[in-house]
Homo-oligomer: A and B are copies of this chain.
């Protein structure tokens, strides 16, 4: 499927509400659970998404539009969010993400992007040449991947509790590399 700007924006706009329904008032212990040491907990995912709103998606879009391929994107630190979430309650972080995402979408709307601009190229520091359309598609998929990751990390808490049903619940055996 080719991306359509209005559809991509509509998908990006719903992520804060999905996250909020998934995570607010979560029973104790579920926000900090993880699949293995060093992997993301639900709170980590939320921090990572907030940090991406600040430093990843919109800033890179602006670099493509203003400087093209000549100026590579700054590398994004996928664990740069640690200090952002320290001591914060989940409700506060959900609100922060919602605000930042709305800001991003308003900023994207103000860029008045046209379909013909989706082929504009930029330089990813590791992946090389990428286009504006690929960046927007990756933003959508990145959201969906991390929502699925949260659900997988939560499900994993009951891996033993389901007993023989494990055979019918493949989410319990997806590798945690697959976020």
Residues of A in contact with B (beta carbons under 8 Å apart): 1-4, 6-7, 10-11, 14, 17-18, 20-22, 25, 27, 29-30, 33, 124, 127-131, 133-135, 137-138, 140-142, 144-145, 147-148, 151-152, 154-155, 157-158, 160-165, 167-174, 177-179
Contacts and interface: CB of A to CB of B under 8 A. Distances in A.
Please name the 5 residue pairs, one residue from A and one from B, whose CB atoms are nearest each other, closest first: A137-B161, A145-B171, A134-B163, A138-B165, A148-B148
A138 B169 contact: yes
Nearest to A27: B7
B27 A11 contact: yes
Question: Taking the full assembly, how many copies of this chain does it contain?
Answer: 2
Nearest to A16: B21
A14 B21 contact: yes
B144 A3 contact: no
A27 to B, nearest CB: 4
A134 B129 CA distance: 50
